[in-house]
Amino acid sequence: MRQFLIIFLISSSLTAGAQGTLSFRSLNEVFAYADAHSVTFKNATQQVLMNKYQTLAAKLDKWKIKGDANLTSTDNTKLGVTFIPAEIFGGPTGTYRQVTFGQQYVTAANFAPQIDILNPFAMAQVRTARASEQVTNATNLLNKKSLYESVAGAYYNILSYQWQIKVTKNSLDNADTLTTIMVNKQQEGIARQQDVNNAKANQLSIQDKLQQLEVNLEEQYSSLKLLCDMDPDTPVSIEETAAPGNFDASLAATGYLTQLQTEWQLKYQEADLRANKRWFMPTITLFSSLGWQQNTNNHPFDGSRWINSNYVGVKMIIPIFPDVGKVAAVRYDRINVAVAKNNFEHAARQDSVNNRQLQLEYQKAFKSARLAGEIAALKEDSYYKNLNIYKEGILSATDLFTAFNDWLNNSLNAVSQQANSDYAKSKIMINNIVK
C-alpha cells in the first residue's frame, strides 16, 4: 500500500510539473520509480517466475506421468506361408500342407500410460527446487539493496551539487561586490591595481568552479537515469524540501540479507545431497496398456469389429551397478555442504559487522556535517568583520581575499558533508527495509 501511495505521489508531481519532466521530491519517490522501470527489477521478476515454474515442474516430475499413444495401419501385401502336417486335414501322414494365416489389412491403436508410485530421487528434487527458489529471492534482495544504495548515492550527489551551486552563486555575488569595492578604492587611489586584479581573478575562479559544479550535476543526473532506466532525453528534476534533521541515535542497522542468502544456499546444498543419496533407492512404477485391433481383407476402417486388449502391472527398478557420476555427486555435495556451513557462520558475523559499520559511518558523517556547518558560520562571520575592517583601511586586501576564500571553501564543505550525512542515514534505512 505504501508503494502505491508513493507511485501516486510521483504521478501527481509529474502532472503538476512541466510536460515531459520527471520531478522527484524525495528519495522514496525515486525508489518507487526504479521499482517500476529498472531493468534489474524486471529481470528479477522474471527470475522469480522461472524458479516458480521449476518448482512446479519438480512437483509434477515426482510422479513421472507418461503415456504414449500410437496408431498403425498395415497392408500385408503378401502374407507369410506356414507349413502344417497334412494329416490335420485328412491327408497322408508325413506330408505337409501350405497354409496362409492372417488378413491383409491390420489396423491397431495402442495407449500405454505409466506413473511412478514411488520415486525417492524425484520426490527429493522438490525440496531442492524450493531451496533454489529461496536462494534466488535472497539474491534478488541483495541486488535490490545494491541498486538502492547506488540510486541513493546519485540522489545525494545531485543534492550536494545543487547545494554547492547555490553557495557558489551566492559567493559569486559577493565576489562581484568585492571587485566593485576594489575598483572604487583603486580609483580613489587607496587600493593597488594588484588588488583589483586579484579580485577579478577571484571572480573568474568562482565562475570556473560554478561551471564545473554544473557539469558534475548533469553527470549525476545521467547516472541516476541509467540506474533507474529513465529516458536519457527526459529532463529530471530533484527538489528535496526536507530540512536537515538531528542525529537519530535510536536508528540501528538490522540487515541480515547476506546471512539469509547463505542460509538458503546451505539448505539448497543439503537438499541436493539428500536427493543424490537416493539414486540407489528402488523406483516403483504402475504401468498399463490399452489396445484395439481391426483385421480385414477389404480395406482399413471398413467397419469390421475392433478387438480390445489391455493389461496393467507394477514394476520395481533397483540400480545394481553403481553410477560413478552419482557417487561423485554425493562426494561433491558433502564438500559443498561443509563450505556452505562455513559461509553461513561467516555471514552472520559479516552482517553484524556491516550493521555496526553503517551506524559508525552515520555517526561520523553527522558529526562532521555539524562541525562543518559551525565552521562555515564562523568563517562567514569572520569575512564580514574583515570586510568592515578593510573598508576602514586597517586590513590588507590579501587578508580579505583569504577570509573570503576560507568562507567559500568551508561553505562548500558544509553542504557536501550534509549530503554525506544524509546518504549515510539512507544506507541504514535501505539496509533495514530491504528484507
DSSP string, 110-144: EEEEEEEEE-HHHHHHHHHHHHHHHHHHHHHHHHH
Kindly report the number of other CB atoms within 10 A of residue 157's CB atom.
21
pLDDT at 93: 82
Half-sphere exposure of 155 (CA within 13 A, CB side): 28
List average pLDDT for each run of 10 residues in the chain, which is 435 residues long.
44 46 92 93 90 90 90 88 79 80 89 93 93 94 95 96 96 92 87 90 95 97 95 90 74 92 96 91 93 89 89 91 85 95 95 95 95 96 94 89 95 96 95 92
Helices 27-37 & 2-16 angle (0-180, nearest 10): 100
On whether the CB atoms of residues 378 and 414 are closer than 8 A, the answer is no
Q: Which residue, among 358, 355, 338, has the nearest Cα to 257 in the 3D structure?
A: 355
In this structure, are strands 236-238 and 22-24 parallel, antiparallel, or unpaired?
Answer: parallel
Q: Which residue, among 428, 415, 353, has the nearest Cα to 161 in the 3D structure?
A: 415
Q: How many residues does the chain have?
A: 435
Give the span between the Cα atoms of 199 and 405, in whole angstroms.
11
Query: Hunting for cell 516403483 — which residue is that?
Result: 284
Give the span between the Cα atoms of 31 and 40, in whole angstroms.
13
On whether the CB atoms of residues 184 and 195 are closer than 8 A, the answer is no
pLDDT at 364: 95
Query: Hunting for cell 528402488 — which residue is that?
Result: 282
pLDDT at 190: 82
The H or E element spanning position 16 is: helix 2-16
Return the C-alpha cell found at 102: 492372417
Domains located in the chain, CATH noted: 128-282+323-433 (1.20.1600.10)
pLDDT at 134: 94
The H or E element spanning position 83 is: strand 81-85
Burial 192-214 (b: 16+ CB within 10 A, else e): eeebbebbeebbeebeebbeebe
The distance from CA 353 to its chain's CA centroid, rounded to whole angstroms, is 23
β-bridge partners, 106: 74, 295
pLDDT at 243: 65
Across 251-341, where does the E strand assignment appear?
Answer: 283-296, 307-317
Give the span between the Cα atoms of 262 and 267, in whole angstroms.
9
pTM: 0.82
Residue 303 region by backbone torsions, left for phi larger than 0, else alpha for psi between -120 and 50, else beta? left
Give the span between the Cα atoms of 127 and 113, in whole angstroms.
27
DSSP 313-338: EEEEE---S--HHHHHHHHHHHHHHH
Query: Hunting for cell 559551525 — which residue is that?
Result: 374
On whether the CB atoms of residues 417 and 244 are closer than 8 A, the answer is no
Give the span between the Cα atoms of 133 and 129, in whole angstroms.
6
pLDDT at 362: 94
Q: Which residue, among 366, 373, 345, 348, has the nearest Cα to 427 in the 3D structure?
A: 366
On whether the CB atoms of residues 245 and 251 are closer than 8 A, the answer is no
Report the first-to-last Cα separation within the chain, whole angstroms. Answer: 17
Question: SS3 for 383?
Answer: helix
pLDDT at 224: 95
The H or E element spanning position 184 is: helix 120-187
Phi, psi of 90 (to 5 degrees): 90, 10
pLDDT at 414: 96
- Output Rg (C-alpha) for the chain, integer angstroms: 41
User: What burial class does residue 309 get, using C-beta atoms within 10 Å of its C-beta: 0-12 exposed, 13-18 middle, 19+ buried?
Assistant: exposed
Task: Locate all alpha helices (DSSP H) within 392-435, ordered by sequence.
Answer: 397-433
